[in-house]
Structure 1
Amino acid sequence: MLELVFTVPDLSQLRFAYSPLWELVASFRVLFSPARHALHAPWISEARHAIAHSDLAASAELALMRTLVPATGYIPDFLTPPPTTPLPNLEDEIALLLETPIAVIREDLEPVGMAPYQRRPRARMEESVGAFYDQPRRTLRRLVGAFRTYWELVLAHHWQRIRTVLDADLSYRTGRLARGGQTEVFADLHAQIEWADGVLRIHKKYATRVELAGRGLVLVPSVMAWPSAMFMPPPWQPTLIYPARGVATLWEAGRVAPDGLARLLGETRANLMVALAGPASTGDLARRLSVTPAAISQHIGVLRDAGLVTTDRRGRGALHMRTQIADALVAAGQ
Structure 2
Amino acid sequence: MYRLEVSPQDIVASRFAISPLMETMHCQFVLDGQHPPGPHRQWLARWREPYLRLREHHLGLRLAPLITGLRGPNNVDFLAPPPIGVAVGFDEEIAAMRRVPLEQAHQEIEEALAPRRGIDPGLRRVLLGPDVVELLAQAMEALWREILSTAWPRFQAVLQRDIVHRAGQLAAYGWAAALGDLSEHVRWVPPGRIEIDMRSDGDIRLDGRGLLLVPTVFGFDVGAYLEEAWPYALVYPARGVAADLPSHHDLTGLIGRSRTRILLELASPATTTQLAVLLEQSPGTVGEHIAALRGAGLISGARSGRHVLYSRTLLGEALVSPSTLQP
Q: How does 1:1-334 map to 2 (within 5 A)?
A: 1-33=1-33, 36-54=36-54, 56-70=55-69, 72-73=71-72, 74-114=74-114, 126-135=121-130, 138-196=131-189, 197-225=191-219, 227-234=220-227, 235-249=229-243, 257-259=248-250, 262-263=253-254, 265=255, 269-270=259-260, 272-274=262-264, 276-277=266-267, 281-284=274-277, 286-287=279-280, 293-310=283-300, 320-332=310-322
Q: 1:86 to 1:293 in 2, by over 3 A?
A: closer
After superposing the two structures, state which structure 1 stretch, 206-215 or 179-188, moved more.
206-215
- Call closer, same or farther: CA 1:140–1:313 in 2, change over 3 Å: farther
Q: Within 1, Cα distance between the matches of 2:204 and 2:18?
A: 23
- How far apart are residue 114 of structure 1 and its match? 4.4
- Check the 8 A contact 2:18/2:159 in 1, yes or no: yes
Q: What is the percentage of aligned positions where both structures have the same residue?
A: 29
Please report how far the alpha carbon of residue 92 of structure 1 lies from its aligned counterpart in structure 2 after TM superposition: 1.1
Label 1:6 to 1:268 Cα distance change in 2 as closer, same or farther (>3 A): closer
Letter in 2 for 1:204: M
Identify the range of structure 1 (69-78 vs 317-326) with the bigger mean alpha-carbon deviation.
317-326
Unaligned runs of 5+ in 1: none
Which range is displaced more, 37-46 or 274-283?
A: 274-283
Change (3 A) 1:127 1:224: same
Runs of 5+ unmatched residues, structure 2 = none
Measured against aligned partners, the alpha-carbon deviations of 1:182-214 in whole angstroms (never above 9, x if no partner) come to: 232122222211112211101223332223344
Instruction: Write the distance in 2 (CA, Å) between the matches of 1:165 and 1:11.
Output: 23
| Offset of residue 89 of structure 1 | 0.7
SS of the residue 1:204 aligns to: coil
Q: SS of 2:174's equivalent?
A: helix
Q: Distance in 2 between matches of 1:71 and 1:22?
A: 15
TM-score, normalising length: structure 1 = 0.81
Q: Is the 8 A contact 1:31 1:48 kept in 2?
A: yes
The 3 A distance-change label for structure 1 pair 326 and 62 is same
Question: What CA distance in whole angstroms lies between the structure 2 residues aligned with 1:105 and 1:192?
Answer: 29
Once residues 279 and 14 of structure 1 are traced to their aligned partners in structure 2, the CA distance between those partners, rounded to angstroms, is 21
In structure 2, how many angstroms separate the alpha carbons of the residues matched to 1:278 and 1:94? 30
Change (3 A) 1:130 1:306: same
Give, in angstroms, the shift of residue 315 of structure 1.
Answer: 8.6
Q: 1:215 to 1:35 in 2, by over 3 A?
A: closer
Q: 1:286 offset after TM fit, Å?
A: 4.6
Question: How big is the alpha-carbon RMSD for the aligned residues of Structure 1 and Structure 2?
Answer: 3.2
Give the CA deviation at 1:319: 6.3
Which amino acid is 1:209 matched to? D
AA partner of residue 330 (structure 1): V
1:77 to partner: Cα distance: 0.9
Distance 1:178 1:216, change over 3 A: closer
Find the aligned partners of 1:38 and 1:157 in 2 and give their Cα distance.
19
